[in-house]
Chain A
Amino acid sequence: MRRLLLIPLFCFALALPAFAQEEERPKWPGVDEAVVEKYAKELGREAREPFINTDQGDLLLFVFALAGAIGGFVMGYYWHKVFVAGRKDEGQPK
């Protein structure tokens, strides 16, 4: 019984450094951060906050998801119109 309890604990302990590394690992920076803002700062110019700052917590995730969904819908709608419905129309005798 004790062994049964120890095995998951041991596994957890083994995995702890990995979790810690996951926490410490830097995020994937965008090239705006890694290049544009870095070089601008070195040259004496810093980026400032956007006029409408949606970069607040999960709000940005929401607007990105919304933008992706709307963009994807528009693209899919017209794709269907051109490559599915449009293709059928092309095949019909005029």
Chain B
Amino acid sequence: MIGKVLLSITILLSAATPALAMHISEGILPAGWAVFWFLAAAPFVAWGVRQITRKKDTDPSYIPLLGIFGAAVFVFSCFPIPVPVAGSTAHPAGTGMSAIFLGPFASVVVAFISLLLQALFLAHGGLTTLGGNTFSMGVVGSFAGFGAFRLGRLLRLPLFWCGFLAGMAADLLTYLSTAFEMALALHGTEPFLTVLGPIYLAFMPTQIPLSLLEGAVTGGIIVYVRKHRPDILRKLKVLQEVKA
């Protein structure tokens, strides 16, 4: 069984080449927009750092969770997955999952650090587009994932489906935000919506299957945590009404 899984992963990995990203590449955003998105993302990062500092002082078990989901966001967001129906590759965001376990602001910090490392060392994204990428993957991805999860809980959906919604929303809205940032900066004299629509739709053949996968992984992890460490979900107040 493990051999088959390893073989499948090897095949998936060998089908891809590195440097296949979803982030806005270096130099694509004009200077003004690059600065604008830095300024837009900065308060979320600053508040996130404040929350992490507070939580690690009050709850010692927060640091291991930060380690797991921080590393997961970094690995997920530089892991190209080939989508045969589209003939291209993209990667999950992972911020929906981290927002559930760490909180949406801490998830923005995790995304910012991941994107910074990728821009510096992996030729992935860019330093001038770091603000824009942090806003789309970090801010929009985290809050969309967190919001979708909370909505699922309000609708009393099973825990797996709440996680599924979170993963899917984080992925799809990250790309909507990327398309929005590009259209806003580059539409020129063309109407904004006629630029936004085709860019977002061009992401969809790759992102719809990938968002389903990300949803399944996020839902699966939440179910795993409920089974093995329900106290974590109780601490996050997720299990108040679920009863482990």
> Footprint of B on A, CB under 8 Å?
27-40, 43-55, 60-61, 63-64, 67-68, 71-72, 74-75, 77-79, 81-83, 86-87, 90
Distance between Cα atoms of A79 and B221 in the complex (Å): 12
Are A47 and B89 closer than 8 Å at their CB atoms?
no
| Total residue contacts A-B, CB cutoff 8 A | 162
In the complex, the answer to whether B228 meets A72 with C-beta atoms within 8 Å is no
- Determine the main DSSP class of A at the interface with B: helix
Q: Is A28's CB under 8 angstroms from B16's CB?
A: yes
Q: Bound complex: CA of A23 vs CA of B244, how far in Å?
A: 54
Instruction: Indicate whether B68 reaches chain A with its CB closer than 8 angstroms.
Output: yes
Using a CB–CB distance below 8 Å, which chain B residues touch chain A?
15-28, 30, 61, 64-65, 67-68, 70-72, 74-75, 78-80, 82, 87-90, 117-123, 126-127, 178, 182, 185-188, 195, 198-199, 202-203, 206-207, 228-229, 231-232
Are the CB atoms of B229 and A87 closer together than 8 Å? yes
Taking CB atoms, residues of chain B closer than 8 Å to A55 are 19, 123
Distance of A22 Cα from B196 Cα, bound (Å) = 35
Known contacts A31-B22, A33-B20, A90-B229; is A67 also within 8 Å of B61 by CB? no
CA distance A89 to B224 in the complex (A): 18
Cα distance A51–B174 in the bound complex, in angstroms: 25
User: Could you tell me if B30 and A45 are in contact, using CB atoms closer than 8 angstroms?
Assistant: yes
Closest B residue to A51 by beta carbon equals B127
Docked-complex contact A29 and B123, CB < 8 angstroms: no
Instruction: Knowing A50-B126, A64-B18, A78-B71, say if A30 contacts B88 (CB, 8 Å).
Output: yes
* Bound Cα distance from A74 to B82, whole angstroms: 25
Q: A34 contacts B88, CB within 8 Å? A: yes
